[in-house]
Amino acid sequence: MVERYKMINIAMQAANNNLALKLSSSKQSAKRFTKIESRDVNVYYGNKHALKHVNLSVYKNEVTALIGPSGCGKSTFLRCLNRMNDVIDICKVTGKITLDDYDIYNSSLDVVQLRARVGMVFQKPNPFPKSIYDNIAYGPRIHGIAYGKAELDEIVQNCLDRAGLWKEVSDRLEQPGTNLSGGQQQRLCIARAIAVNPEVILMDEPCSALDPIATARIEELIEELRENFTIIIVTHSMQQAARVSQRTAFFHLGELLEVGDTKTIFTNPINSCTQGYITGRFG
Amino acid sequence: MNNTLSTSLNKSASSQTIRLPDFSGSHLAKRYASERRFRILGIASVGVAGIILLILLSSIVSKGYSAFWLHKVELNITFSAEVLNPDGSTLEEVKLKQANYLALIHNALKEKFPAAVGNRRKIRMLYGMIAPKADLVLRDMVLSNPSLIGTTKKVLLKLSDDWDSLSKGFINRDLPESDRRIKDLEINWHDQLQSEGHIHSVFNADFFTTGDSRNPEEAGIYSSLIGSILTLTVTLLISFPLGVMSAIYLEEFAPNNRFIDFIEININNLAAVPSVVFGVLGLAVFLNFFGLPRSAPLVGGLVLALMTLPTIIIAARSALKAVSPSIREAALSLGASPLQVVTHHVLPMAMPGILSGTIIGMAQALGETAPLLMIGMVAFIVDIPRTFTDPATVMSVQVYIWSDSPERAFVERTSAGIMVLLGFLVLMNAAAILLRKRFEFRW
């Protein structure tokens, strides 16, 4: 069955993308501005072809959700966008990914600068084993964002405030970030990511280790952050994708099967495989 | 229809019997027994190790504690001007330095035991009561206070090593006289002095302030302690930075290729090379090729650094490896450069482990003897080394030298030396634990 879906899907994929683009452009063409564009991206882990011919545009100030069953390449794709895959020796990336029309795999590009522009929040909260203050202040410090202690204090307060954490931790900034609860830690990580003023924030299943209340808090936060950042979020929760994202991309077996406005994907998916996944019939 | 279905179900149930976990009988008893057995074995092995350690320590302490004090005899010394200044000339310092202070002691002894006078054998015995360099004490007294001349004063003088052993009760009085180093007459004198309260037990400060000596009562651990400190300083200064840098490079930056694999294998092999081989290397390279001074802490430190390096590299690498990759990812994703990731996050988090490995390596180096013998640190060192190129010996070698000496009093000094060595080791470990505490954090 899946094989048959695949055959059809490959044939339809280009049309889908075009359609999705047309749909979106017909609705809000004036507002949308392409922030990240990937063209024919392939990723290989040694001999394994992990990501196949992915063409995806990510629009500015929108939340793009990447969904799909485990091992389909969502996280791999996400990690291509800030070149975190460079760390893995056997990983090879081909194709072209542009950020504001600049090829991020260009050999003259400084990866450190790219990562300062494209922040990331991980599945498992990973605060540094330092104080809450130092967790936030680390990025601004290494990038010379703050001039003086007063400015740094302001940045820390501002970021914690935006991450909805200020009220909870303002009286214990000197305590280790690792002492916070899971949800607070994840918000701390988000605050840490926005302290560098990135343009794009990548989130790799940021709520998978959290309870529903912490999840709701983070989803609210994502909605607020959308105003200033472009967000790409990998999630296993259909509901979450439907709630927080404006656009959704469905990955399956390393391929991007369907991409479009979240509403369209969830109400009227073109690809039957997508339909099967979002309605819970497989995956 | 219904009937057949139920029978067929029954059949399939009986053919594939569903077994519940076996909570009863022998299965459970076996599990409990094996767990109990494991716990008993564990406690037993810890107990055996503890007992062996206890035996070792108690034997060292029981043999060595007596070296921390010694006995002195109180004599009425007459600083007679005729002996010190036979010409009757003015008191010049030069003369006082060369005066015959030994005669003062001999006079006092003769006065105390007049019966010995006239018998050369007895006189020699009597003179042998006092430690060979005791006259220097009198000289220093007179030099600092020349007005003593012409007066009589009670002075405490060190007993010789044999007499000291007698006072400590190490001489078996039941042996026939011919088998004893201390004869009956001496025992009588000793008992007389003791009953009159002239023999005093005092803290052996010289043991901690002087260098080696042929006379056990003069021998001290201080010069070799300084030698150890100088040598270990060189070792630490060389092996710690080199080891940590190599570990960081190999673990965090080195490409994955055959050459690096080859280096890794060699480091692991180096850790297992017998230490005396490093001594031969040091002799051939540092002394013969580079012409560095023999018996110097500098060379000893270099040799021990070579020996310690693999230990530190291996420990540091495993400590670096143990740092969670999520911390590296977090730092990288904020735009930290690879070097910043290491210096700001990975290295501080790995520091406790690195320090543990370093202290293990340094403890090994502290107790090492064989490679130092090869580069001449087995020398007889009386002076306290001041620089890294002065001739020196280290505590472990000092213990080795003393253990080889025939005098009875060196036995207790050997054990006392080991105690000082262990004390130094405990201090080093304590410093490492304090440093660890400073770097440690809660997760």
Domain-embedded: residue A138: yes
Helix axes B184-195, B120-127, angle to 10 degrees: 50
Question: In this predicted model, what pLDDT tens digit does every residue of A179-193 receive, in sequence order?
Answer: 898 889 998 999 999
Order of strands across the sheet that contains B69-78: B152-158, B69-78, B199-203
Residues of chain B with pLDDT > 90, as a percent, come to 41
* Closest Cβ opposite residue B332 in set A84, A143, A176: A84
Distance (Å, whole) CA B355 – CA B361: 10
In a domain, A76, yes or no: yes
Q: Is position A10 within any domain?
A: no
Q: What pairing do the DSSP bridges indicate for beta strands A48-59 and A34-45?
A: antiparallel
Between residues A209 and A36, the one the model is more confident about: A36
Q: Mutating which of B252, B334, B440 best tests the A interface, going by the most A Cβ atoms within 10 A?
A: B334
CA distance B46 to B320: 30
- Closest residue in B to A136 (Cα) is B334
Give the structural domain span for A51: 31-279
A10: pLDDT strictly greater than 50: no
Region B415-440 average pLDDT: 88
What residues of chain A lie within 8 A of the CB of B326, using their CB? 122, 124, 126
Contact B333 A122 (CB under 8 A): yes
Rounded CA separation B244/B250 (Å): 10
pTM, rounded to two decimals:
0.80
> Min CA distance, B313 vs chain A (Å)?
23
CB contact under 8 A, A115 and B331: no
Among A87, A124, A138, beta carbon nearest to B334: A138
**A19 located within any domain:** no
> Which residues lie below 8 Å from residue B156, measured CB to CB, with a gap of 6+?
B72, B73, B74, B200, B202
**The domain that contains A85 carries what CATH number?**
3.40.50.300
Which residues in chain B are contacts of A132 at CB distance < 8 A?
none
Q: Tell me, yes or no, whether A7 lies in a domain.
A: no
Distance from CA of A186 to the nearest CA of B (A): 12
The pLDDT of residue B9 is above 70: no
Residues of B with CB under 8 A from a CB of A: 256, 324, 326-337, 340, 344-345, 349, 441-443
Tell me what pLDDT residue A8 has: 45
Select the highest-mean-pLDDT range: A238-242, B49-53, B164-168. Answer: B49-53
The predicted model gives A53-75 an average pLDDT of 90
**Alpha carbon distance B264, B128 (integer Å):** 62
Per cent of chain A over pLDDT 90 is 26
Residue whose token pair is 């029981």: B62
Tell me which residue has tokens 């009561």.
B129
Provide, as residue numbers in chain A, all residues whose Cβ is less than 8 Å from the Cβ of B336: 112, 138, 142
- A residues 71-100 near B, CB within 8 Å? 82, 84, 87, 89
B49 pLDDT higher than 70 = yes
Domain total of chain A: 1
Taking an 8 Å cut-off on Cβ atoms, the answer to whether B327 and A124 are in contact is no
pLDDT, residue B14, reads: 54
Do B329 and A176 make contact, defined as CB atoms within 8 angstroms?
no
pLDDT per residue as tens digits for the range B373-388: 988 888 888 888 999 9
**Position A184 in a domain:** yes
**Each residue's pLDDT tens digit, A116-147:** 999 999 989 999 998 999 999 999 999 988 88
Quick one: closest CA in B to A198, which residue? B334
Q: What is the pLDDT of residue B418?
A: 94
Closest CA to A111 of B140, B151, B38, B338: B338
Quote the minimal CA–CA distance from A195 to chain B in Å.
Answer: 9
Q: Which CATH class is domain B222-439?
A: mainly alpha
Which of these, B320, B345, B319, lies nearest to B331 by C-alpha position? B345
Question: Residue B394: pLDDT above 70?
Answer: yes
Cβ of A45 under 8 Å from any chain B Cβ? Answer: no
Amino acid occupying residue B317: R
Q: Does A189 touch chain B (CB under 8 A)?
A: yes
Is A9 inside any structural domain?
no
How is A23-90 classified by DSSP, letter by letter? HHHHHHTTT--EEEEEEEEEEEETTEEEEEEEEEEEETT-EEEEE-STTSSHHHHHHHHTTGGGGSTT
